[in-house]
Chain A
Amino acid sequence: MRHSDQDLRTLMRAAQGGDRAAYRAALAALADWLGGYFARRIAPAQVDDLVQETLLSVHRKRSSYDPDRPFFPWVAAIARYRWIDALRARARRPETSLEAEPPVASPEEPVLARLSLDQLIGHLPAPQARAITLTKVEGRSVAETARLTGQSESAVKVNVHRGLRKLAALVESE
């Protein structure tokens, strides 16, 4: 069941007063919403982990929600914050490849994720965009990417690293 902003405001107001049933209902509704939110932004295999991390953040920082204000802008900001963290974590591991990730659950998810990612990658300089597309989206190795792009291996690593950092900054400034 899809909850309205007003439903969740009411549930969170009750939760801040200590109502556990209301809190459980709010978190369950949030888990569903977050699943959809992250499905368009990150590799499907990572969605569950990110939903859990975000729910923990919501739990830890629930007092930062003011029930007099809309609920979804609050939770979307926290979700984006955790997403940026995930992007940064990937930027710190430029060697990581999607090859190691398990197969996706449904055919639409990677397409939507790719659409969202393509929009962001369009803002990067061409060498960074190409290096990220080949290593992070298509899952090629650094050596293979270097051969295909004519960049040295260390240039590929630097471009991936810088590109992912720039992506995180782009997302943050949205």
Chain B
Amino acid sequence: MTERLDMMIDDLAAELAPQPAVRERDGRRAALAAALVTIALVIGLLGLRPQLVNGVADALVLVTTALFALLALAAGLSAIRMAQPAVGAPRGGALWLFVAMLLFPAIALVEHLVGRPADAQAQIGLMCLLNGVGASLFTAAVIVRHLRRGAPVLPEAAGLCTGLAAGAVGAVAITLECGGSSFAHLAFFHVGIVAAWALIGRLVLARLVRW
């Protein structure tokens, strides 16, 4: 070891202060709390989907909500895990789930092109998209805070997973609230929330978690 390195190690050791480890479970709890608060706030402010209030369960809405919830879980767990560096850590499941969800808008687009346009309820769709993007912000902030306390060594992937998780939480909240239930509406405007956050995550959040 060189003298310069030896001196540096002495300096680093001299300035050591006790610092508790960043725990994965703390990140998971914080992200879960953020997701629940987001959903409660959206439903509290905008109300529950009328069909759910009346106890009528639309299968498509339920399946879509469940897929968003699964995506939020998979991407959220991946993002939180990325706060702790590790070689060989598994990743990528959330991304495949998101790719599978992109089949929704792809199929809706094909239906539109072959002359069977479904009503995408565009007038409320834009509001769903904007509300959903806004509602995702809190979860994104909580996960980014956890990542910044840690040391993500794959910042692009961490940003993307954070965006997917936050967008999926926003999409769950909006799907439970909004009255639109056509396939095209859910495909374009609700999956669109996740797609928008995937972009934000990859392009913006990745920079925030780089160190």
Given known A-B contacts A20-B13, A80-B87, A80-B153, A28 and B1 have beta carbons under 8 A apart:
yes
Interface string of A56-97 (1 = CB under 8 A from B): 110111111111010001111110110000000000000000
What B residues does A51 contact at CB under 8 A? 5
Closest to B15 in A: A59
B88 and A62 form a contact (CB under 8 A):
no
Interface hit among A11-19, A38-46, A134-142, A159-167: A11-19
Interface assignment of B123: CB less than 8 Å from any CB of chain A: no
What B residues does A78 contact at CB under 8 A? 85, 151, 153
Within 8 A of A (CB), among B69-106: 83-88
CA distance A76 to B87 in the complex (A): 7
CA distance A17 to B21 in the complex (A): 9
B150 and A18 form a contact (CB under 8 A):
no
Given known A-B contacts A48-B5, A51-B5, A80-B153, A27 and B12 have beta carbons under 8 A apart:
yes
Closest to A32 in B: B1
- The DSSP consensus for interface residues of chain B is loop
How many interface residues does A have (CB within 8 Å)? 39
Question: Could you say which of A15, A21, A64 contacts B84, with CB atoms under 8 Å apart?
Answer: A64
Within 8 A of A (CB), among B14-60: 14, 16-24
Interface assignment of A52: CB less than 8 Å from any CB of chain B: yes
CB A12 to nearest CB in B, in angstroms, measures 9
CA distance A148 to B123 in the complex (A): 63
Interface assignment of A172: CB less than 8 Å from any CB of chain B: yes
Question: Could you say which of B13, B18, B23 contacts A27, with CB atoms under 8 Å apart?
Answer: B13
CB A27 to nearest CB in B, in angstroms, measures 5
CA distance A20 to B4 in the complex (A): 19
- Give me the 10 closest cross-chain CB pairs, A-B, nearest first: A77-B85, A18-B18, A61-B151, A24-B13, A64-B151, A81-B153, A64-B150, A27-B9, A63-B19, A76-B87
CB A30 to nearest CB in B, in angstroms, measures 9
CA distance A60 to B24 in the complex (A): 18
What A residues does B22 contact at CB under 8 A? 63-64, 66
Residues of B within 8 A of A (CB): 1-2, 4-6, 8-10, 12-14, 16-24, 83-88, 149-151, 153-154, 211
Given known A-B contacts A23-B13, A78-B153, A64 and B86 have beta carbons under 8 A apart:
no
Given known A-B contacts A24-B10, A52-B5, A69 and B86 have beta carbons under 8 A apart:
yes
Interface assignment of A117: CB less than 8 Å from any CB of chain B: no
B149 and A81 form a contact (CB under 8 A):
no
Question: Could you say which of B5, B19, B85 contacts A74, with CB atoms under 8 Å apart?
Answer: B85
Closest to B18 in A: A18
Known: A64-B83, A78-B153, A81-B151. 11 other contacts (CB 8 A): A20-B13, A20-B14, A24-B13, A31-B1, A55-B12, A57-B151, A63-B19, A64-B84, A64-B149, A65-B21, A78-B151
A61 and B16 form a contact (CB under 8 A):
no
A77 and B19 form a contact (CB under 8 A):
no
CB B15 to nearest CB in A, in angstroms, measures 8
A-B contact pairs, 5 of them (CB 8 A): A24-B9, A56-B12, A60-B211, A65-B84, A69-B84
